[in-house]
Amino acid sequence: MKTLLTPLLILLLAGCASVVKVESGDTTVDSRLVVTLEGPWNRIVAPGLGPAQIWTMEGMPVDQLMIYSGLKDGLAIHEERTGAGSSAPKSFVFRSPMQPDEIVSLFEGMLTRDGSSFTLVKLEPATFVGIKGFHFEYTLTRKLDSARLSGLGYGAVSNGELFALVYQAPRLTFFPRHQAKVDQMARSARLKAI
């Protein structure tokens, strides 16, 4: 998490990032995934955030929703860091034949690259984007500040591409405040014909 938050904070402070309000109603994410929103969200727009769109209700780093709209086979679920002085962190690459537990393990690996601790609470079959998918719930203790977060995710693989929503926030106040909105968004998710 720290690996995502540090560059985001730097970008925001440097003025390279912007926040775009996403209004209620039907919203298309990356021209492929359509979700219905009950209430506005804020989308963080900045270079180098990786393959997911990052949305927030309360502001970063309080809560975040990662939306994957058609991650192709062989791509990492996180930003790949390269350049002088960067170590080669483990890459968490999506493969289309992966089972739900393997995909959840990718998210676990990404979220714990900074030393945070992840506990899977639930993994079950669920319909997502109109097809057989999965739902999972987890807790995360952030290494950066020892904050205890709750999280949930929905995902499905369609035509070899990963579609997923992953939301996390501090477990006592913010997570329960927005959990129903994320669940409703996941129930409304559908794919546009290409």
- pLDDT digit string, tens, across residues 136-151: 999 999 999 999 999 9
Which residues lie closer than 8 Å to 10 by C-beta, 6 or more apart? Answer: none
pTM: 0.87
Which option is the CATH number for 2-81+89-191: 3.40.800.10, 3.30.1200.10, 3.20.20.150, 3.40.1000.10? 3.40.1000.10
In this structure, are residues 56 and 44 in contact, taking their beta carbons and an 8 Å threshold? yes
Cα-only R_g, the chain: 16
In this structure, are residues 149 and 171 in contact, taking their beta carbons and an 8 Å threshold? yes
Q: Which residues make beta-bridge pairs with 20? A: 43
Which DSSP string corresponds to 115-178?
S-EEEEEEEEEEEETTEEEEEEEEEEE-TTT--EEEEEEEEEEETTEEEEEEEEEETTTHHHHH
Span 156-169, pLDDT tens digits: 999 999 999 999 99
Span 27-79, pLDDT tens digits: 999 989 999 999 899 999 988 778 999 999 998 889 999 999 999 999 999 88
